Amino acid sequence: MDEDRLNIEEYIRQSKINNQSELINHVSIIGAGVMGQGIAQTISSAGIDVLIIEKDETQLAKAKEELSETIDREIKRWAMTASEKKAIMSRIQWSTVIADIKESDLIIEAIDESLESKKAIFKAVDEIAKHEAILVSNTSTLSLTKIAEVTKRADRIIGMHFLNPVPKVPLVELVKALETSNLTVQTVREFATRIGKTAVEVYEYPGFVTTRAIVPLLNEAMYILLEGVATAKDIDTAMKLGYNFQYGPLEMADMMGLDEVLAWMETLWKTLGEPRYRPNPIIRKLVREKKLGRKTGEGFYKYDSNGKIIS
């Protein structure tokens, strides 16, 4: 009898989980930068409606144009069709009114890597979003538990750390905060599968897995360049051919955005205090000069309008 009761309870629990995951039919994304655009494209490609929120019309129009151009480049490479672009764009809505998130089932924050800014967003979203909505942060280094403290739904706060370029990288890190429920983890894990991602669950710790592991490599490659051991191109070629990397570390940093990489380094250096995370002078110089990588046309390399390296 006890065994039958346990089986019934497990069936009910699984049914609740499955039903909950199927309820994610509308997603809002706050922040229309490179990551926000990539997340939106990925979710829309899976047939799910998306709303992108940005702070003003100028930034919103810029983001919409950038996303369209990104997909156009994929069409030129025969990686996507015009009809697929039309379907993706038709499922994405654009707004500057944060109150428009109120009917979303999942809300993803994808703004700059600033704890105070993220806490402010989560506090505002928590007051607007429907009770059962799950709130997600795309943070790569910050504490989800601290972010969750400003909300009244700590059990429904979770991290989804996507990697750039989001539509092409099949991984997402699921970051469980102190009070995140198992139901929330399971729901978001199944959502990740729906949008074509393999989810790995990580403990909340600065940098999680991917950021913590990649930052020292990027930093060391920058020191090799700074010390004149080899050119940027030769450093990247050595790592690609020697270790079967798809991209060399300096090209990778340009793709990620040097301002983002610098923010990761500063956070890890501040929280962990280990020299391998201390930002290299060369990245500070490039960020000061607004040479942020591919998105600005220049970083460790110069890029053409299609994002291809020209020198």
In this prediction, residue 99 carries a pLDDT of: 97
Confidence of residue 69 (pLDDT cuts 50, 70, 90): very high
> CA-based Rg of the chain, rounded to a whole angstrom?
20
| Domains of the chain and CATH, by start | 2-203 (3.40.50.720), 210-296 (1.10.1040.10)
pLDDT of residue 307: 84
Q: pLDDT tens digits for 75-86? A: 998 989 999 999
Whether pLDDT at 144 is above 70 = yes
Q: What is the mean pLDDT of residues 15-21?
A: 51
Where does the pLDDT of residue 12 fall: very low under 50, low under 70, confident under 90, or very high at 90 and above?
very low
CA pair distance 160, 251, nearest whole angstrom? 24
The single-letter DSSP state of residue 232 is H
- % of residues, the chain, pLDDT over 70: 93
For the cut 70, the answer to whether the pLDDT of residue 72 exceeds it is yes
Give the residue, 24 or 12, on which the prediction is more confident: 24
pLDDT over 80 (residue 124): yes
Q: How buried is residue 4: exposed, middle or buried, by Cβ count under 10 Å (0-12/13-18/19+)?
A: exposed
Across 13-25, average pLDDT? 60
Residue 233 has pLDDT above 70, yes or no: yes
Which amino acid, 265?
M
Question: Whole-number mean pLDDT of the chain?
Answer: 92
Mean of pLDDT values over 244-262:
95
Least confident span in 13-27, 164-178, 285-299: 13-27
SS3 52: strand
pLDDT digit string (tens) for 180-213?
A: 999 999 999 999 999 999 999 998 888 999 999 9
What DSSP state is assigned to residue 158?
A: E
Cα–Cα distance between 22 and 276 in angstroms, integer?
43
Q: How confident is the model at residue 7 (pLDDT cuts 50, 70, 90)?
A: low
Torsion on CA atoms 75, 77, 80, 83, rounded to nearest 10:
30
